[in-house]
């Protein structure tokens, strides 16, 4: 089984080969600035002591303070966090934000924790890393298993050490220095980019059937915006499995159901299928918006969709990616497809630094502009250099980081 970090390395090398980067420069760009692991010992509600490890990998700061989410998931390990931190570096550079890349993670299962236990774990983690994060150093944000409440605890705990400074974390509740539109941002970005891609291909959304895996924050918002753009969503899924309706799902009804029932379990107006089967459906557009590593050489030959948008981080493994490229399938890579989140995180950070609030219209307008520009750049680069959208995205991101590193004096 390939590891996440090896997958990122392969994608990096593929782009670096097209850029003629030397082995020394590759080593320099790939080596993390700093990696920390801290003990997180907390008392559970039943009085037991529970000990975890919290990771923060700060990959690169050549272009600005490091930026990236914090993940709570049972399978988190240092390798995965390293890989995700690197992706953040290429992502922020690709969409041209003045940030570097970082990522954090704690190997816990949030579904087995009470809110108070989550809070204790979060605060303990901040106790361990507060002196290596901050608005000019490294700014955490939500990721899988964390949300705006967790960000509020981070802010609160951080300020106990360093005083008021809401720019130390993004994705906060709107009532607590957050920005309107941050929660929807990643899903909205997926919608914007899907629409752009169809435009480039001369294809109508109404004639584009979509299968969407994952109905968390990213998946559910993507469903909403794709539906508004008149895509025909035929399947959605969450941990309870897949829900398929070949004629198209009633997305407003699905959204309402999932809000009321905290998930899709028990949704009746669709055929039940497995998460694996959803990936193999006869659709034009497949959007994995849940876990990484769900599409590998193992199931790739059965995947029918000619277009894939990686709303999750690292859903497509390189062995599958090679096959898709040979088959002429189009894959819009994670570092562009899900960049909407970090773009609006940047607006939130700017808002916090200026103490001047942004309205939702301004957020949406500027997000649309940033993503549309980046999409056009990636598309042109892919055509000019005859490379995949992924390789073009990496080349753009790596090129910017490389130039900043050399201009700043690397050694």
What's the DSSP call for residue 146? -
Q: Is 184 helix (H, G, I), strand (E, B) or coil?
A: helix
Site for ligand GLU in 330-349 (CB under 6 A): 338, 341-342, 345
For residue 109 the two structure tokens come to 């299962």
- CA R_g for the chain: 20
Other beta carbons within 10 Å of 49? 8
Least distance to ligand GLU, CB of residue 329, Å: 24
Pattern 141-160, ligand GLU, x by CB under 6 A? x-x-----------------
Q: Which residues pair with 238 in a beta bridge?
A: 241
Question: Assign residue 248 a region: left if phi > 0, alpha if psi is -120 to 50, beta otherwise?
Answer: left
In the bound state with ligand GLU, the residue whose beta carbon lies nearer, of 70 and 320, is 70
- The count of chain residues that interact with ligand GLU, using the rule CB under 6 A, is 12
**103 is known as an active-site residue:** yes
The percent of the chain in helix, strand and coil, each rounded to the nearest 5, is 50, 20, 30
CA angle 234, 297, 103 (to 5 degrees): 80
Examine residue 8 and tell whether it contacts ligand GLU (CB under 6 A): no
What is the phi/psi pair of residue 14, to 5°?
-60, -40
Q: Does 309 bind ligand GLU (CB under 6 A)?
A: no
> Among residues 33, 67, 91, 103, which one is catalytic?
103
The smaller minimum CB distance to ligand GLU, of residues 170 and 208, is found at 170
The answer to the question of residue 86 lying near ligand GLU (CB under 6 A) is no
Choose between 84 and 308: whose C-beta lies nearer to ligand GLU.
84
- Decide if residue 64 touches ligand GLU (CB under 6 A): no
Ordered DSSP codes for 346-395: HHHHHHHHHT-PPPHHHHHHHHHHHHHHHHHHHHHHHHHHT--HHHHHHH
Choose the binding region for ligand GLU from 63-71, 105-113, 291-299, 386-394 (rule: CB under 6 A): 63-71
> How far apart, in whole angstroms, are the C-alpha atoms of residue 153 and residue 160?
11
For residue 221, state whether it binds ligand GLU (rule: CB under 6 A). Answer: no
For ligand GLU, the closer of residues 303 and 316 by Cβ is 316
**Residue 292 within binding range of ligand GLU, rule CB under 6 A:** no
The minimum distance between CB 170 and ligand GLU, in angstroms, equals 6
Shortest distance (Å) from residue 406 CB to ligand GLU: 25
> Concatenated DSSP letters for 44-76?
-TTS-EEEEEEEEEEEE-TTSSEEEEEEE-TT-
Smallest separation (angstroms) from ligand GLU to the CB of 84: 7
Binding segment for ligand GLU (CB under 6 A), chosen from 21-29, 65-73, 128-136, 316-324, is 65-73
170 scored as a contact of ligand GLU (CB under 6 A): yes
Site for ligand GLU, rule CB under 6 A: 67-69, 141, 143, 170-171, 313, 338, 341-342, 345
Active-site positions read: 103
């Amino acid at each position: 089984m390939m590891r996440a970090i090896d997958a990122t390395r392969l994608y990096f090398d593929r782009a670096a080969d097209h850029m003629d980067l030397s082995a020394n420069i590759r080593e320099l760009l790939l080596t993390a600035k700093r990696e920390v692991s801290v003990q997180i010992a907390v008392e559970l509600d039943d009085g037991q002591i529970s000990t975890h490890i919290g990771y923060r990998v700060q990959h690169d700061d050549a272009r600005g303070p490091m930026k990236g989410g914090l993940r709570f998931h049972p399978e988190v390990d240092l390798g995965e966090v390293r890989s995700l931190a690197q992706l953040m570096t290429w992502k922020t550079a690709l969409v041209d934000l003045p940030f570097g890349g970082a990522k954090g993670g704690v190997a816990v299962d949030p579904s087995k924790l009470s809110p108070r236990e989550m809070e204790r774990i979060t605060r303990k983690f901040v106790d361990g890393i507060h002196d290596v994060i901050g608005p000019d150093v490294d700014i955490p944000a939500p990721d899988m298993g964390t949300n705006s409440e967790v960000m509020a605890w981070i802010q609160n705990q951080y300020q106990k050490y360093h005083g008021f400074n809401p720019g130390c974390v993004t994705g906060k509740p709107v009532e607590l220095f957050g920005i309107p539109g941050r929660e929807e941002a990643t899903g909205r970005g997926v919608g914007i980019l899907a629409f752009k891609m169809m435009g480039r291909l001369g294809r109508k959304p109404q004639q584009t059937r979509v299968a969407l895996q994952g109905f968390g924050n990213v998946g559910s918002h993507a469903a909403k915006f794709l539906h508004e753009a008149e895509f025909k969503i035929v399947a959605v899924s969450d941990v309870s499995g897949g829900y398929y309706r070949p004629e198209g799902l009633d997305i407003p009804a699905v959204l309402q159901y999932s809000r009321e029932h905290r998930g899709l379990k028990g949704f009746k107006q669709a055929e039940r299928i497995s998460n694996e089967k959803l990936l193999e459906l006869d659709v034009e557009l497949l959007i994995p918006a849940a876990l990484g590593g769900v599409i590998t050489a193992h199931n790739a030959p059965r995947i029918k969709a000619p277009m894939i948008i990686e709303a999750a981080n690292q859903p497509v493994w390189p062995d599958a990616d090679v096959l898709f490229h040979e088959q002429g399938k189009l894959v819009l890579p994670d570092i562009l497809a899900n960049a909407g989140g970090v773009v609006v995180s940047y607006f939130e950070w700017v808002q916090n630094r200026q103490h001047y609030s942004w309205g939702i219209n301004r957020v949406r307008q500027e997000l649309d502009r940033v993503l549309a520009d980046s999409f056009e750049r990636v598309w042109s680069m892919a055509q000019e250099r005859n490379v995949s959208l992924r390789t073009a995205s990496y080349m753009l991101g790596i090129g910017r980081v490389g130039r900043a590193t050399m201009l700043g004096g690397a050694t």
